[in-house]
Every structure is written in C-alpha cells, then in structure tokens.
C-alpha cells in the first residue's frame, strides 16, 4: 500500500509541472513563505535581543552581590571572612570588593549624573568583564588620578582621552571656611569604556579601589563584594545567594543578578511568545489557500478518485495521498520562508541606518539569533497548521458516489 501512495506522490507532485503552476498552489506556497518569513524575523530578533542583553548584563556586572545586613559598609574583617568562605565554594570563580557611589561628572559647565565604581583593576580574574570593554586608551588605573569612563558619557561632556574630568560627590560634603561644600576632585581620562548598553556607557566611571576610597572618605570600608560564578552555576545564582545567606547566619544580605533583572527577562520571554502566537495567525490565514488548493485538486482528480474507489481504495488511503502532497509542498515552502526570514533578519542586524534608542531599549544595535529549537518550533507549528487545514476539504472524498462519478 505504501508503494502505491508513493506512486501517486510522484504522479501528482514530481511528474508534472501543472501541479506547481496552478494559481492556488502558487498562492499557497507564497502565503506560507511570507508568513513563515515574518515569524522567523520577529522570533530571531527577539531571541537575539534577549541573548545579547543577558550576556552583556552578566559580563558587565557580577552574578552575586554581598552587602552588610545592617546599615553601613563592609569592613576589612568582613572581607576576610567572606574571602575565606567564598574560596571554599566550588561554584565560585572569582570575587572582589567594590566601592560604588553616586556622583556628578562635570566639564566646562556641562554636568551629568554618573556612577563611580572603585575596582581592583589589577586582578586577572575580575568578577566583571571590565578589561574586555575598554576599547580606547588603557584599562590600567595605575595613578590615583586615572579614570576610565563610558564613551557616551565622554561624548555628552565633550571629553576625550587625556582630558580632565571633575567628579563631585553631593553625598560626601566637607566643612570649609565657606561652609559645607561637596567633595570634588579632578581626574584624567585614561580609557574609554563601551559595553553596548546605554545605561552603562552613559554612567560608569571606573577608578582604582584606593582612589575611590579616598574620594568617599572610606577607611577600610567597601560597598559590597562582587562574586562571579562558574558558567554551570549562573542560572542557579538565586538559590546560591539564598543558601549562602543561611550558612552565614543572615549576617549579610546576598542578592543575585536574578533579583535585579529577573522581571526584565521574564517580560522579554512573555513578549517573545505573545508575538509568536500573534504572528502564527498569519500562517493560519495562509492555510486558507491550503483548503482551496486541496479542494481544487480533489475536484480535478474526481474521476481518477472514483476509479480508485471502485478498485477498493479506502477513503483513508485517498486522504493520505492529498495530505502527503500538501505536507511535502508546505515543508519546502516553510524551509524557504525560514531561509528568507533569516536573510532579512541578518540584513537588519548588519544595517546601520536604523538603530535602537539606547535609553529606551538598553541596546542600540539590533541583534539576531535563531537557534535549532526555534527552527523546530516554527517548522512544527507551521506544518501542524497546514496539516489541520488540509483535513477540512477531505470530507469531500467520503461523500463521493462511485457510480455517479463513473457515469459522468
């Protein structure tokens, strides 16, 4: 029986050009290609955006943060205790104390809010990928007056490498003969920082740890401890933070990247699948052409179907011929649609005349990613819709009367 079905596949699909050149077949194929291409473009852009955003956040920042539970900053004895504890944890790749403070950056009357980060830049295995993103100048903060700033911040303040930037701390006031004045100090721009995320590139200013401590009047104090996890444990950061907090008797407040960004990524996943469901309706609309194509094919082959039924062919046997023909044509159309969609998505990612607003979408460049799982999901969804659509006109086969067909 299977050999007979294969024979009819060849007869109705491969042996004649007429099957492919019928208007209903052409519209069916074009409709599927366009709808699948649209779905592929949207899905690959969403997936690329989510992947790059997550990768950037996890490389610019660390995975786990340790603060003192009560008010105040970590001190030397806390750093020693945490260092000893973290060194014994197999999930930890590296850790480092950090000083963070809100400041104002100014140059020739231009003022911009910024975030100071005092880091141990000389460490080979910093929890954050600081060195990776310094694209101009030098990442080495050897002098107490050296800073590396985000390139967008430099652009907004009209600064370049070697220029002097003044940092002002409204929270760190000093008593002078003229009264209370905010702490201010001049620094030299040693390097420019570019992570690709607007929030970081327009705010971050990096100093060495000692300079940040002196600027903020910290004496053996640190804002927090940053921890980088091994790749296999990054997704478990939330659980590890909770576990370590219990082990350390809640002396420290331990948070993970999931605590700070979990809602954002949950929203992105939800939006991605909502868009997927909405655009799947395009395939459903294109499947109306499938109903038309199968119906026309059944009418054209009415006499041949009657002869086959007279020789004992069952309705299921005849239905399998039309379903198989439709699925083969649709499979090819879906593949073409996915290739077309990937090509369009790649072009969108390469072009430079349309960029995202970084202050709204975090990233400026449109990125695309199309995984094998996404390919299977789109392929499976498309073929399922086509298959269900092809079943609708097949009831005509069961309604055929052999005697009437043969008389006609």
Give the pLDDT confidence of 372-384 residue by residue, as tens digits: 888 899 999 988 9
Please identify, among 206, 221, 250, the residue that sits at the C-terminal boundary of a domain: 250
358 occurs within a structural domain: yes
Give the pLDDT confidence of 268-320 residue by residue, as tens digits: 888 888 888 888 888 888 888 877 777 777 777 777 767 677 767 677 777 77
Say if residue 204 is in the same domain as residue 283.
no
Say if residue 128 is in the same domain as residue 22.
no
222 occurs within a structural domain: yes
Domain that holds residue 162: 70-250
Average pLDDT over residues 113-133: 87
- Asked if residue 176 has pLDDT above 80, the reply is no
- Supply the pLDDT for residue 311: 66
Say if residue 336 is in the same domain as residue 232.
no
Tell me how far apart the alpha carbons of residues 126 and 119 are, in angstroms, rounded to a whole number: 9
149 occurs within a structural domain: yes
Q: How confident is the model at residue 114 (pLDDT cuts 50, 70, 90)?
A: very high
Q: How confident is the model at residue 12 (pLDDT cuts 50, 70, 90)?
A: low
The H-assigned helical ranges of 157-249 are 198-201, 209-215, 237-247
Task: Match 């209903």 to its residue by tokens.
Answer: 24
Both tokens of residue 217? 């009047």
- For the chain, what percent of residues have pLDDT higher than 90? 31
Average pLDDT over residues 34-52: 89
Say if residue 243 is in the same domain as residue 387.
no
62 occurs within a structural domain: no
Left if phi > 0, otherwise alpha if psi is -120 to 50, otherwise beta: which for 109?
Answer: left
268 occurs within a structural domain: yes
94 occurs within a structural domain: yes
- Supply the pLDDT for residue 105: 92
Q: How confident is the model at residue 26 (pLDDT cuts 50, 70, 90)?
A: confident
Give which of 243, 225, 223 is closest to 233, Cα–Cα: 243
Please identify, among 250, 285, 302, the residue that sits at the C-terminal boundary of a domain: 250
Q: Phi and psi at residue 227, in whole multiples of 5°?
A: -130, 130
259 occurs within a structural domain: no
Tell me how far apart the alpha carbons of residues 228 and 245 are, in angstroms, rounded to a whole number: 16
Say if residue 41 is in the same domain as residue 78.
no
Query: How many distinct helices (H) and strands (E) make up the chain?
Result: 15, 12
Give the pLDDT confidence of 222-255 residue by residue, as tens digits: 999 999 999 999 999 999 999 999 999 899 999 9
**Of 324 and 113, the one with more pLDDT:** 113
Please identify, among 217, 250, 283, the residue that sits at the C-terminal boundary of a domain: 250
- Asked if residue 155 has pLDDT above 60, the reply is yes
Say if residue 233 is in the same domain as residue 359.
no
**In the chain, how many domains are there?**
2
Q: Which of 24-28, 77-81, 108-112 has the lowest mean pLDDT?
A: 24-28
Say if residue 244 is in the same domain as residue 281.
no
Q: How confident is the model at residue 398 (pLDDT cuts 50, 70, 90)?
A: low
Q: Phi and psi at residue 325, in whole multiples of 5°?
A: -60, -45
Say if residue 209 is in the same domain as residue 319.
no
Q: How confident is the model at residue 361 (pLDDT cuts 50, 70, 90)?
A: low
Q: 341: part of which helix (H) or strand (E)?
A: helix 315-350
Say if residue 326 is in the same domain as residue 273.
yes
Residue 399 DSSP one-character state: T
Q: Count of CB atoms within 10 A of residue 355's CB?
A: 12
Say if residue 39 is in the same domain as residue 187.
no
CB 191 within 8 A of CB 53: no
Out of 99-108, 173-182, 272-281, 310-319, give the one with best mean pLDDT: 99-108
Task: Match 């970590």 to its residue by tokens.
Answer: 74
Coil, strand or helix at 177: coil
CB 64 within 8 A of CB 255: yes
What DSSP assignment string belongs to 247-308? HTTTSEEEEEHHHHHHHHHHHHHHHHHHHHHHHHHHHHHHHHHHHHHHHHHHHHTHHHHHHH
Say if residue 377 is in the same domain as residue 304.
yes
Say if residue 123 is in the same domain as residue 223.
yes
Average pLDDT over residues 331-342: 91
64 occurs within a structural domain: no
């Amino acid at each position: 029986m299977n050999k007979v079905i294969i024979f009819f596949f060849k007869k109705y699909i491969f042996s004649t050009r007429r099957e492919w050149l019928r208007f209903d077949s052409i519209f069916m194929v074009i409709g599927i290609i366009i709808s699948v291409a649209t779905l592929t473009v949207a899905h690959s852009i969403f997936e690329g955006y989510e992947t790059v955003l997550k990768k950037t956040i996890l490389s610019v920042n660390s995975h786990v943060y340790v603060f003192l539970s009560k008010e105040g900053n970590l001190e030397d004895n806390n750093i020693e205790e945490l260092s000893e504890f973290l060194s014994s944890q197999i999930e930890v790749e590296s850790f480092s104390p950090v000083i963070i403070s809100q400041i104002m950056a100014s140059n020739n009357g231009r003022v911009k809010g910024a975030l100071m980060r005092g880091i141990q830049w000389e460490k080979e295995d910093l929890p954050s990928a600081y060195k990776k993103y310094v694209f101009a100048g030098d990442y080495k903060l050897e002098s107490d007056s050296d800073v590396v700033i985000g390139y967008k911040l430099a652009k907004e303040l009209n600064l370049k490498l070697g220029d002097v930037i003044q940092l002002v701390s409204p929270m760190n006031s000093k008593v002078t003969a003229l009264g209370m004045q905010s702490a201010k100090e001049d620094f030299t721009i040693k390097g420019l920082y570019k992570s690709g995320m607007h929030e970081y590139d327009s705010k971050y200013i990096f100093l060495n740890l000692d300079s940040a401590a002196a600027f903020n009047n910290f004496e053996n104090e640190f804002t927090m401890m940053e921890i980088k996890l091994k790749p296999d444990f990054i997704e478990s950061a939330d659980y590890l933070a909770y576990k370590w907090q219990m082990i350390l008797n809640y002396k420290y407040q331990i948070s993970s990247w999931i605590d700070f960004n979990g809602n954002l990524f949950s929203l992105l996943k939800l939006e991605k699948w909502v868009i997927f469901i909405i655009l799947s309706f395009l395939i459903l609309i294109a499947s109306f052409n499938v109903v038309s194509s199968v119906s026309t094919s059944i009418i054209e082959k009415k006499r041949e179907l009657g002869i086959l039924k007279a020789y004992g062919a069952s309705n299921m046997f005849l239905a399998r011929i039309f379903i198989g023909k439709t699925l083969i044509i649709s499979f090819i159309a879906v593949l073409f649609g996915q290739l077309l969609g990937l090509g369009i998505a790649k072009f969108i990612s390469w072009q430079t005349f349309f960029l995202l607003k970084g202050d709204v979408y975090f990233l400026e460049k449109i990125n695309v990613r199309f995984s094998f799982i996404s390919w299977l999901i789109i392929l499976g969804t498309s073929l399922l819709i086509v298959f269900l659509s092809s079943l609708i006109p097949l009831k005509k086969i069961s309604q055929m009367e052999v005697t009437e067909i043969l008389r006609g």
